[in-house]
Amino acid sequence: MPADLLRQIFGFDDFREGQQEIVQAVAHGRDVLAIMPTGGGKSLCYQLPALMREGVTVVISPLIALMRDQVRALREAGVAAGALTSGNTEAETDDVFAAIRDGALKILYMAPERLASGGTLPLLRRAGVTAIAVDEAHCVSQWGHDFRPDYLRIGELKQTLGVPLSAFTATADAETRAEIVTRLFGGTAPVTFLRGFDRPNIHLAFQPKDGPRRQIMEFVAARPGQSGIVYCGSRAKTETLATALNAAGHSALHYHGGMDPEARREAEGRFQREDGLIVAATVAFGMGIDKPDIRWVAHADLPKSIEAYYQEIGRAGRDGEPAETLTLYGPDDIRMRRAQIDEGLAENDRKGADHTRLNALLGLAEATSCRRVMLLAYFGDTAEPCGNCDLCQNPPRLFDATKPVQMALSAMLRTGEWFGAGHIIDVLTGNETDKIRQRGHDRLPTWGVGTNWSRPQWQAIIRQMMGRDLCRPDPSRHGALHITDAAHPILRGETQVTLREDSIRRAKPAFTPKMQVSEEDAPLLSALKAKRRALAEAQRVPAYVIFPDRTLQEMAERRPKTLDDMARINGVGAKKLESYGTAFLEVIAGEAAPMHPQRRALAGRPAGTLFDRLAETQQRLARGQDGTEKPLSCSTSQLRRIAETRPASRDAMSRLLDEARLDRFADAFLDDIASL
């Protein structure tokens, strides 16, 4: 049954890796925690079980845009879904209440904030809720980077309704996972699926800032016509960068939390509907954007943590096709992120944890070998070198940094671990400042011992030391660097350390963008996208709701000639075949022959071939064997039932046909069934 629904409703022949076991556990009423990579198909893992069970599944999801998009996509696939959000019109809310009242709803989306309303629990009881699904479950955790207090009510809702709960997220380290279990499942361990964090289709790349505007513009120029996001550290930068992109001939807009709500909705809508649009945005943009064909994500400024980085780049390539990332970073970014942590209101242990998370991101930026190995190791995964990151493709030059690292660690210790990187570098390079003289640090044994390295080189060395967790900022000492246990063997000369030679020279691109299809198929793909856009604009829905890029690429490559061929394309379910199959077939093969709705329901299935054989036999015998008898035929509904049930005997056939049709067609129909 799950496989049948997967094909019939969603149009997929097979589950993605890891989906089937999760679907079965959720469908069987188990409590489930699933950590799956972005683009790994999390939503299907609660949508499909909702169709397999009685009653309504309520989905708690964090952003209105995400819920509205998923409801649109489900309705396009023929699923009775609705959402109760603050963005609803009165008519939309009335429709949802009517569907609940009539018992016609299968999936109900709502924001966690709605759980604070006194009327929500009685509503869910009347709706007949039999399961709860929680999307972006890391929001329940104080350690999660998108903490939402209203998520804390979900565990109470589960207990009150007495129904199973499934929780899904893409980014949850061990601390976050433990808190999810406590908050949502009451400490009782759910069935946990840790499906890995790897997104092998995403190319990872970092560059030190060296004219960051130019670096971003060159990156975008090398990828014409592709949808992408440029994340910026400030609202002002989103506006200036979008202006520069438009001036350079790219279609771009900006997005940030300070915009008017209507302008933000318009920006989100355009990005979802239009191919090749670029958004320069703050991190306020993204979690609610369910667009599978974003081809790249660039960071014009360093993200705030490795979890934030991973979630933000995870918005690219959700369709599984090749996608690219570029992250720029520099000393100013690091100072800004440190200040945000230190100036926050969190307790010192939380600040320390946030500095450690930022250190992990710096370690990734300054990595000496495969970035994917280091990234996955942070989340507890192991991997072999990927061949799909800038360091695998262009290994960096390394040097034995044991001596300068020992110097830096010694300077930190001799200054009492009370100072930040700037003061430590002044000591090492012999830069006599007022602070140095006042504290007598010009008389330390480490004074001026590092003059063989320039200030930028020392900055790079200390960045890499923090990335290796050899030193950390101490929130209780206003970000002063203190050494960690891992540094002591290096100080004692027991362990060597190898670092990258940091260069601020202009970086050369190390990755050639891949075309979505072959050069031969590119014009057809463009025509299919034009048809998709026209249909999407007419219905005012995102383009991918019609078909995702991956489905159009398969159409362009396989070039189906009939609706049966079209039904075998991944992503073309029965409802979408009925709604759009003929329109896209006409783009590919010209005018398509009409097909009866009863036959179209069997498209792409063995029963469809049998239906055609039965129809031919019926036509041949319409006037009997000798062509002289009274005309007689079966209805298309009868032919469909025979094709689907494949009766194996005349007796079984008699339950589908009356006596006259049984005498005329039964033996020949049984021969057709046996031959296929």
Decide if 2-194 and 398-500 have a common fold.
no
Rounded to 10 deg, the angle between the 331-342 and 348-365 helix axes is: 160
Q: Domain coordinates of the chain in residue numbers? A: 2-194, 202-393, 398-500, 522-594, 606-675
Burial of residue 36 (number of CB atoms within 10 Å: 0-12, 13-18, 19+)? buried
Confidence (pLDDT) at 143: 57
pLDDT lower than 50: segments of the chain: 504-512
Show Cβ contacts of residue 53 under 8 Å, excluding neighbours closer than 6 positions.
Answer: 27, 29, 130, 131
The torsion angles phi and psi of 596, rounded to 5 degrees, stand at -60, 140
Alpha helices in 559-635 (DSSP H): 563-567, 574-576, 582-589, 597-600, 606-620
- Tell me how crowded residue 86 is: count the other CB atoms within 10 A of its CB: 8
Report how far apart, in Å, the C-alpha atoms of 6 and of each of 10, 44, 45, 48 are: 5, 9, 11, 7
* SS3 (DSSP) at 191: strand
User: Cα separation of 42 and 318, whole Å?
Assistant: 11
User: Cα separation of 36 and 18, whole Å?
Assistant: 9
Show Cβ contacts of residue 55 under 8 Å, excluding neighbours closer than 6 positions.
Answer: 128, 129, 130, 131
Confidence (pLDDT) at 199: 86
Provide the strand spans (E) within 597-663. Answer: none
Residue 13 CA from chain centroid, whole number:
21
Written as six digits, the tokens of 356 are: 């450690």
Confidence (pLDDT) at 504: 34
**Interior angle at CA 53, CA 47 and CA 58, nearest 5:** 50
Domain 2-194, CATH = 3.40.50.300
Domain 522-594, CATH = 1.10.150.80
Cα dihedral across residues 141, 317, 111, 167: positive or negative: negative
Per CATH, domain 202-393 is 3.30.360.10: no
Determine how β-strand 498-500 pairs with β-strand 398-400.
antiparallel
Region at 614 (left for phi over 0; alpha for psi -120 to 50; beta for the rest): alpha
Confidence (pLDDT) at 505: 39
Write the pLDDT tens digit of every residue in 346-398: 777 777 788 888 888 988 998 889 999 999 888 878 889 999 999 999 998 88
Write the pLDDT tens digit of every residue in 424-476: 999 999 998 888 998 899 999 999 999 998 888 888 888 888 878 898 887 76
At CB < 8 A and 24+ separation, what contacts does 478-482 make?
A: 478/342, 479/338, 479/339, 479/342, 479/420, 480/417, 480/418, 480/419, 480/420, 481/412, 481/417, 481/419, 481/420, 481/421, 481/424, 482/412, 482/417
Q: Are 276 and 259 in contact (CB under 8 A)?
A: no
Confidence (pLDDT) at 507: 33
Confidence (pLDDT) at 204: 97
User: Cα separation of 181 and 194, whole Å?
Assistant: 14
Confidence (pLDDT) at 359: 85
Domain 398-500, CATH = 1.10.10.10
Q: Are 358 and 200 in contact (CB under 8 A)?
A: no
